[in-house]
Structure 1
């Protein structure tokens, strides 16, 4: 008997667990998902699940990011305003989708579980902040904004309204809102290169 013959079945079970977990997250939300429910939907035992994941939180994160993670393109239109608009618009469309609700639940769960918070921040928010940093750096290189710009602060100023609406008001952010947010945040940074 080939010793590797069980591997494909094992990987198939793992894939089924991840898919079942993601579907349950969309249907029931993070709070409604249980290991028992995942096992039943995936057609596996709880023992099989615990072979790969120590708890529901770690499995939920893996399932969510396995289903939603993509290569994040860095907008490069030649304009810092347009680049930021594209990035924020992509994020707001994601936030306004059912997947955005899951992110909100992850944020809530992270208030009680610091390790969980560290994981979703590193996998979701850190890559997006790096993109913002690149956009600002290019704006500096193109002489659009001032060299001493506090990039971290202005990134917060632009993205804070989106997450305020996600977590507090529940309101949708439209394209016109995004443009106003970016214009307001950059108003003191944009250099008038027509002035001598």
Structure 2
């Protein structure tokens, strides 16, 4: 069967992957089954088995499809403003139960499935690369040294927030987002985030 954009195959994939996320949130990785995903999607289970086969493949494909969605990087006119916007988005997602349920479930699944772990790694690598454009623009404006590791600065901006979310369970808010962004920027301006010579 030819996969036509917008055709039946694309529609089936869309509803199945949406059902995958919903089932992952509802019952977690260990409670998920291909049959439950098929039931929620309204698709015959043989269709799901034939195309995906296992829960691991379903989760990986769901993450891959999310990775392919273009994410618009902020453009506030300054690097500080852009980094704060990126950090604030993390806070906004993870303080909204409706929006945080999927990423939290994905992180949990990645602890139990090597395939989900790789898909999560690929997703965040893509998102970091998209976000790094704000650093590249800042370098072009002369705000930072040319050897600044753009992706590392994005990691430094978000890391304190993810530490609170997934490790300590401490609350996060917009003040925490601003603090994380400004601390990362101080480190970058001090030359602490220079790219390795052969990077």
Q: Which category of TM-score, normalised to the shorter sequence, fits these structures?
A: 0.7 to 0.9
- The corresponding residue for 2:160 is 161
- The answer on 1:184 being equivalent to 2:178 is no
Tell whether 2:16 aligns with 1:42.
no
Name the larger-Rg structure.
1
Give the TM-score normalised by the residue count of structure 1.
0.76
Aligned pairs for 1:25-174 within 5 A? 25-63=24-62, 66=65, 70-97=69-96, 98-122=98-122, 124-174=123-173
Q: How large is the Cα RMSD of the aligned pairs? A: 3.0
Partner of 1:86, secondary structure, is helix
1:166–1:36 Cα change, 3 Å: same
What's the offset of the Cα at 1:64?
Answer: 5.8
Q: Is the 8 A contact 1:104 1:166 kept in 2?
A: no
Q: Which moved more, 1:92-101 or 1:171-180?
A: 92-101
Q: What is the distance in 2 between the residues matched to 1:64 and 1:53?
A: 14
Structure 2, unaligned runs of 5 or more: 191-199
Provide closer, same or farther for how the CA distance between residues 175 and 10 of structure 1 changes in structure 2, counting only shifts above 3 A. closer
Distance 1:38 1:135 in 2: 38
Instruction: Report how many residues are paired.
Output: 185
Once residues 48 and 92 of structure 2 are traced to their aligned partners in structure 1, the CA distance between those partners, rounded to angstroms, is 32
Distance 1:74 1:132 in 2: 6
C-alpha offsets along residues 12-71 of structure 1, whole Å, 9 cap, x if unaligned? Answer: 554443333333233333333222222333344432211110211221343466579742
Moved more, 95-104 or 83-92: 95-104
Going from structure 1 to structure 2, the CA distance change for 1:153 and 1:9 (only over 3 Å counts) comes to: closer
Distance 1:184 1:10, change over 3 A: closer
In structure 1, stretches of 5+ residues that fail to align are 192-196
Q: Deviations over 1:118-158 (max 9, x none)?
A: 22222x21222113322112111111122332434433221
Residues in 2 aligned to 1:54 and 1:18: alpha-carbon distance in whole angstroms: 13
1-structure distance, mates of 2:62, 2:149: 35
Query: What CA deviation, in whole Å up to 9, does each residue of 1:55-101 have, x standing for no partner?
Result: 11221343466579742112122200001111222233223334434
